[in-house]
């Protein structure tokens, strides 16, 4: 196929309506699709969709679209008027450096289809949900919380969020406020690289510390029990492997449709 015969690039179909930078490497981006609703329509919290922009290097384009595309979990609830993403800059990435140049009013492409099985579909009502994330892996849990909070979907939700430094704690204000209002929500942030002594007064180390049975029971007011708890792991694959090993000692096992268990996981790279 000659250059003249190449299909036209996929048109940009969405607009940035809000951008909040937590630090130079992390931001929340809100995107509104063209059309009356501005959002994706019905989807299940925990799913993801693709974003795209014209690449700096045409070799990075996905197929014949003329765009570089990457999947990102959705942080907003389905009914919100725009779609929210929690993003971290990857310096040598093909797409995030392009996303970091966007400002309110700029255009990009967003796929209208959502996919993914990292949802609450296989979890019965009334369980304790233990949501363990690192970095931007918090995003699908924020979507679940916003959509299902107050509906009786869970007995309690425990949010364990591990980051390097305090400014990486995206959604901290929202989660702290909701936890103060709602006894069914427990928020446990953990920082691994905050200097000591220093201003950070919360937990230090890695997320595994929050899941030590004695600490967990005291912080949550209930045991980490496979009979009552369903655990969702999202983020760094090394974290997922470490927590899975830790939980196995307490009787937790991975979940599949064929062999139901209590551990659900989504690797972020």
Structural domains of the chain, ranges and CATH numbers in brackets: 3-110 (2.40.30.10), 127-267 (3.40.50.80)
Displacement of CA 242 from its chain's centroid (Å): 19
**Dist CA 31 CA 143 (whole Å):** 15
Tally of CB atoms within 10 A around 95:
22
**Dist CA 258 CA 261 (whole Å):** 10
The pLDDT value recorded for residue 5 is 53
Eight-state DSSP code of residue 226: T
Q: Which of 163, 174, 155 is nearest to 136 (CA)?
A: 163
**What is the full per-residue pLDDT of the chain (269 aa) written as tens digits?**
445 455 667 899 999 999 999 999 999 999 999 988 888 989 999 999 999 999 987 766 777 789 999 999 999 999 999 999 999 999 999 999 999 999 999 999 999 999 999 999 999 999 999 999 999 999 999 999 999 999 999 999 999 999 999 999 999 999 999 999 999 999 999 999 998 888 899 999 999 999 999 999 999 999 999 999 999 999 999 999 999 999 999 999 999 989 999 999 998 76
The pLDDT value recorded for residue 143 is 98
The pLDDT value recorded for residue 10 is 86
Q: Is the dihedral of CA 21, 23, 25, 26 positive or negative?
A: negative
| Terminal CA-CA length for the chain | 34
Long-range contact pairs involving 110-113 (C-beta distance under 8 Å, separation at least 24): 110/13, 110/14, 110/31, 110/33, 110/40, 110/49, 110/50, 110/51, 110/52, 110/83, 111/49, 111/50, 111/51, 111/52, 111/69, 112/33, 112/40, 112/41, 112/49, 113/49
Q: In what order do the strands lie in the sheet with 154-163?
A: 203-204, 185-191, 154-163, 127-134, 229-235, 263-267
Q: Which of 144, 213, 211, 215 is nearest to 175 (CA)?
A: 144
Express each pLDDT in 59-102 by its tens digit: 667 777 899 999 999 999 999 999 999 999 999 999 999 999 99
């Amino acid at each position: 196929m000659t250059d003249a015969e190449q299909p036209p690039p996929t048109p940009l179909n969405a607009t940035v309506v809000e951008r909040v930078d937590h630090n130079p490497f992390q931001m929340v981006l809100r995107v509104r699709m063209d059309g009356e609703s501005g959002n994706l329509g019905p989807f299940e919290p925990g799913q993801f969709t693709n974003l795209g922009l014209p690449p700096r290097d045409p070799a990075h384009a996905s197929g014949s679209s003329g765009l570089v595309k990457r999947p990102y979990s959705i942080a907003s609830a389905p009914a919100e008027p725009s779609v929210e993403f929690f993003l971290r800059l990857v310096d040598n990435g093909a797409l995030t450096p392009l996303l970091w140049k966007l400002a309110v009013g700029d255009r990009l492409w967003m796929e209208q289809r959502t996919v993914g099985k990292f949802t609450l579909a296989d979890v019965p009502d009334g369980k304790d949900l233990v949501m363990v994330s690192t970095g931007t892996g918090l995003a699908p849990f924020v979507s679940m919380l916003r959509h299902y909070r107050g509906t009786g979907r869970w007995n309690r939700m425990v949010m364990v969020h591990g980051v390097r430094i305090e400014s990486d704690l995206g959604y901290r204000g929202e989660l702290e406020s909701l936890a103060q209002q709602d006894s069914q929500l427990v928020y446990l942030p953990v920082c691994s690289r905050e200097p000591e002594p220093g201003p950070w007064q919360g937990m230090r180390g890695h997320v595994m510390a929050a899941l030590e049975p004695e600490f967990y029971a005291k912080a949550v007011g209930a045991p980490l029990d496979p009979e009552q708890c369903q655990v969702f792991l999202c983020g760094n694959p090394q974290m997922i492997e470490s927590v899975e090993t830790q939980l196995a000692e307490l009787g937790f096992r991975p979940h599949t449709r064929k062999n139901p268990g209590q551990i659900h996981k989504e690797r972020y790279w």
